[in-house]
Structure 1
Amino acid sequence: MSIGTLYSYPQNPRSLKAHIAAKYVGKSVEEPVFDFPAGLQTDEMKELFPMAKIPVFKTECGKPIFESNAIAYYVAAQDESVGLLGATAYEKALVQTFMSFADNEINPHLATLLYPILGYYKFDKDAHTAAASSLRRSLNALEKWLITRTYVASEQVTIADIVLFCTMIPLYKMYLDTITRAPFVNLNRWFNTILNQPNVACLVTDFEYCEKAVVYDPAIHKPAAAKEEAKPAAAKEEAKPAAAAAPAADGKEKNPLDLLPPSSFVLDNWKRFYSNNSEVDSIKYFWDNVDLEGYSLWLASYMDNHLLKQTFMTCNLINGLFQRSDRARKYAFGSFAIFGEDNNSELFAIYLVRGQEIPFELADTPDLESYTTKKLEINDETKALVNAFLTWDDSIEGCSFASITNKKFNEGKIFK
């Protein structure tokens, strides 16, 4: 029996909330093919839905409901005995808590991270970095909450689980790749539990977890307006004489780091020397040749050490960062070190980078947002720290990890 009509576009995760709720309460929701935004511009629809946003819902009596959470709640309320709204006053409050949490602590950060890739927003590096950090805090909060809980608000699925699950679908499809989501054991278990509920699985078919996070590329991911303007702009370019072409021979913009004054220190030469000589000889080569006007040294400290479990999992975490940092290899060298033991470890890294700031190619890597970074001033203490990261052995004279940790070195990896 249909309880109303939902107006949206196909595969909208916001609309999915109502459809899943309908499965639980044994009702159906009609969703006809809808021409958006033109379909909301009729006099009737303007009167019912003045905000002109989707999804919107018209009950069987013709009454309007907008906002996807409210629509899903209305559907869930069709049979309260099913328990989607919570059984006690406390559970009902938790249902409201996690519906709000999805809207306020997940969705805004998701939008900032993913909408530029989808062409909805213009990319903003600072906003991206802040959103990634805020999202990580939100995911950590959920991870902790779910340690002793199967569902977020009750001993069974509630509308809060449904809303939160639907909100997080784009994250698990595009952002939370194998390595990034690895620390969130309880959150992953919860998401998979909801995904495999019969009333969910029948609607969310052939779901594939993200294997490699989609990273913003300005050459590919342009705002819709920019895409529309691209053709006339190109036409104007064609009308120009050949002499007015871009200065680069291949037509590509040069990386700002390639425009820096030449450095006496050649990064590729250093990487080859480090790979083919002893650690002690490498230390001498490094300090004899490094140009600290053309390059800078940075300490990166992992912020979520409490989430690190098995050492091999931490190694996988580092490997994932390396894979997503390929664009930075031309401009950076790094040494990562794990200290301590399983379930009680710390993760640090030393980076040598071209220029005096962390390059965009490295800073834009989602994983690096899980680290605090500090530019190193060169003194005896920092030299001893850098030497220790080059050797992974603080028993060698002039090498010491003491300035960052008292834990014993466990395992390391080199980014080059």
Structure 2
Amino acid sequence: MSGKSVLYSNFRIRSWVPRALVKYLGLNVEIVDPYSEEAAEEFAKQFPLKKLPAFLGPRGFKLTEQMAINHYLINSSRDEKIKGQLLGEPTDIETQAEILRWESLATSDLIVFLVRVFQPLVVEGVPYVKKDVDAAWKVVDEITGIYEARLREKTYLVGERITLADLMSATAFTRGFNYLFGTEWRKQHPSIVRWFNTVTAGEILRDEYRDFKFIDEPAKPPQSVNKKKEKKKTAPEAAPAASKPKPEAQAKPEAEEKPEEPKKPKHPLELLGKPSFVLDEWKRKYSNEDTRPVALPWFWEHYNPQEYSLWKVDYKYNDELTLTFMSNNLIGGFFNRLSASTKYMFGCLVVYGENNNNGITGAVMLRGQDHVPAFDVAPDWESYSYTKLDPSNEQDKEFINNMWAWDKPVVVDGTPREIADGKVLK
């Protein structure tokens, strides 16, 4: 790596591995806090979405997304032995693929569902919805079960040395150990604990974990939730027949009672009322039936254009996309950030093309006729363009069918481009 580069990073765990790699590999990269007084303006200018970590090379080369930055930094090293250890030897494509597999599982699944569990428990303003937290916990259990089974048989996730798979996975597990994985959980997952301690005590990550401590008890639901449950469970006892309540035991006048907190405003799309087209029924049909012969004909038979609208969604910065799996992870992150609107939406975004020459497009149905209330819950929604589709137009209808069936190439500027990957929003 020639010339001075800049890595923008902060306290969030997604910045830890890139920052640790810069130091461990001895790269000519300045580590900068993007929100410091000296750097804030330049950071916003170079990276308008303000996503972290972010990398700026000496010739204007820019990267976001932790996985992409990690691979770039490691490949910038001149130490072939270290590169082979962290990423897999160039001739060992199976090991390389295994490392990428665990990196992806950590960033696309593990950390996402950990956040869905702990944020409602510890972050003020994030609503606690028990069924949603329980559903996320179930996924966390499944993923950690995969890790425990793997590490019961192996010292590290891939091979016999620390790789990027271990670094990425360990930092993802950190938030679990911060808030959720107390003493009892650790007793049930001894292999994960042994591995986590080994990786975080290693030369690469140990500076990031000098003050790290395990918790004894996991975070609990907010106190207000517990009080409401207690109130429902405990019925008021009847006063004994022969006794009279003492004056001081009488209830306080209603005027002195603490007023209830105002209810959180409903999602704006909730105000549109209950539609006749049952979105959950369509989602089940799409998931369980063959798409072309069964699901799509059912959809067009039941779709109500007065209640729902259809939109073509295109990523604005296709020229910045590199590997197709990274583009697909970008879609996954976007869909996760749309979670507040998922009950009003359905659709697919796909990655078309090949590595270093790909794009993102798709078709999404949403409640109402305006796309903004559905999409603006995601901080990065303006990274995409939105074009309303007309289902009575055969070309538009064919595009929707193709996006939801994934069985035909995407036509871009008159050229067919094969679909490499994609994700479903449902």
Normalization by structure 2: what TM-score?
0.49
